Structures are given as structure tokens and as C-alpha cells.
Structure 1
């Protein structure tokens, strides 16, 4: 008769030998499901670590302006949804809602009146191409960075209030831009932002 641990214990039997079931859990297959679970938990933890969070400030013509937390691969329309959606006064045609948001960016949604004021440049609505050249928004739909008002500059992708102020300040201190690439000389505007707006601007 065996006593103590039953692991590996065998009992003599005239009819043959009977092997008792091992009780040491470390030697059984019962640990395999736990190992799989632990592996799955580690993979989930790794996924969470890889998931990047970013914060954006959504303001202007939205129902609930504020700072919102989204994943780093979120699009502009998702940030707007977080802010309660656009108001009736929003100039949504000025937005590229498929644009990927950037951490720490400010998303300003202008109103139709603000866009109109920027296009007018303080005067009347543009009637022809000659008048268009005098205002920030030209007949080809591009923004003239040498003449555009602050509000109109803010309709460009990736250009918030701070960057629009910096552009206006640069023009005041250094004069007109000689080429659109000069925009990267403005404080806060690097290659990434320029790539977003290069097809939306002109001089």
C-alpha cells in the first residue's frame, strides 16, 4: 500500500500492474489551457501597449467644443463626432473630414460667415478672376497665403489658430512669401503640415 504522494505510485496486482493517475499538476496537460490563456493575456497587453492615444482640441462651429481623446489613427470626422457634430452654421465644405488627426492639434471649424468674410477680404464677394487674385481664396479654390486672412488660413488642413497667427506674423515681419515652400519657414509648420496644404495653397 502506498502512502503520501501518489505521483508515480504503482501497486502490485496478481492480474497485472495498475498505474495510478499522477497528481502532480506540473506533469499533466491540465496546464496547457492556462498557458494558452496566459499567452492570450500577454498578447492583449502588448496590443494595448501598442495602441497610441492622442488628444485634440475641437472648437469653432461644433456643438460641444473641447479637448477629446482618440486613437492615433482616428480621422477628422471622428473628432467632430466626439465634439457633438457640426452646427448648422458650420462651413463643412472647407474640411477634409477624411484627414488623419495629429496629437496636440487644434481643429477649428469655421462658420459660413467666417469663410465668407475671409473670401471677401473685407469687401464684396469675388465677381471674377481679377478680383479673386486680390483675396485669399482664388478662383481655382486655392488659398493665397500672401493675402489670406487669419480665418481663411484656418480652413487649411492642419492649420489651427496658432499656426494661422504665425503665418500672418511672418508676413508682417518678413514680407510676402516668394514660393509656397517658404511656408515651412513659419514657426510650427514643418514638412508634415506642408505636405497636407501644398495642394490647397498658392502665392
Structure 2
């Protein structure tokens, strides 16, 4: 037997190793692997719902256009007080008032003017001439437009000034303040006295403004 082992020792040790390996897997239990935590699907869905899918989801609820009140008078079919939406123009409000009368002087009205809260829109009849507001506190009126289509810096309302290129609410308010403090503009070049209105802005405005 000893002689046989010596002559076949490679086979003997190989078989012994195989036997040990077999016994190891048969009698030693496999090591338990750590279980992965179960995913809470409800919590995951809640987190997904809380993430805005676009910038529109973050828009505030009060971002809707503001409702404003406009008084329409003169040569319109249905004079009265009408609700308008911020951004509406004179022509939009006149449609609500039933449109113009046949004798309305269309050449004096800026139909593209954006309306503002407490605005008085007066439509003159042909031959009536320019409309002048009664100056009631808390109200304003549309300055009717001359046939040349230019804005009069000494008569224009804040809403009318904002129809000019490069003139927003702050600059329009500054123009009105300058007019009230220093009196009427003597020349259109005086507009450059307003902070924020330089040569480039004035070049865009000079063909659309006047002082008389």
C-alpha cells in the first residue's frame, strides 16, 4: 500500500483535496448575504411629485394678468365703465363698448395705446377738437393723438409714454416728475435730462415725440 501511494502520490493527493473540498461544501452552510433594503415606492413617488417638472411649475399663483377698470366716454355705442386685462389696448376696450359711432373722429385716437387702471378713454366727434380732462383726482385721460402720430411730452400720460421705445414705468414716471417740477419741456432734446435716457435712446425717440 505504501509503495502504491509513493508511485501514485499525485493522484492520491489530488483525490484527497477533492474529497476535502466536497466535505467543505456539504457540511459548512453558505454565508448569508446582507439583504438590500426594500425601496419605499410610496416615498419615492412623493419625492418625484415634489420636484418641479418645469419652470412653469414654480410660477406663483398670482402671476395672472391684473384686472383693471377703464371708463369709456364720448362717441361710442355703449359708454360706461369696463373691466380690462393688463396689457389690453384701447381698441380692445372699445370693442367691449360696442365700437365707435359713425361720427367719431378716428384720426385723433391712438388705438394701439395700452390701457391702465382708472384710465378715461374719451372718443371725440368729428370737428370737436382735442379733449381736455377735467382733472378729477385719481383719474387720467387719453391725450388724443395729432395726425402726425407723435407723443406730446408735455401732455402725454404715463401710459402713453410707455408706448415709446425704451420707456418703461420708471422712466415714464421720471418724465412726469420732471415736467411737474421744472415745467413743460421746451425742446425734445430736453428729454436727455432724464436719468437713463442717453443719445442712443433719444435717437430712437426723436421722430416719435414733440413738445407742442
Q: TM-score, normalised by structure 2?
A: 0.43
CA radius of gyration, larger in: 2
Q: TM-score, normalised by structure 1?
A: 0.45
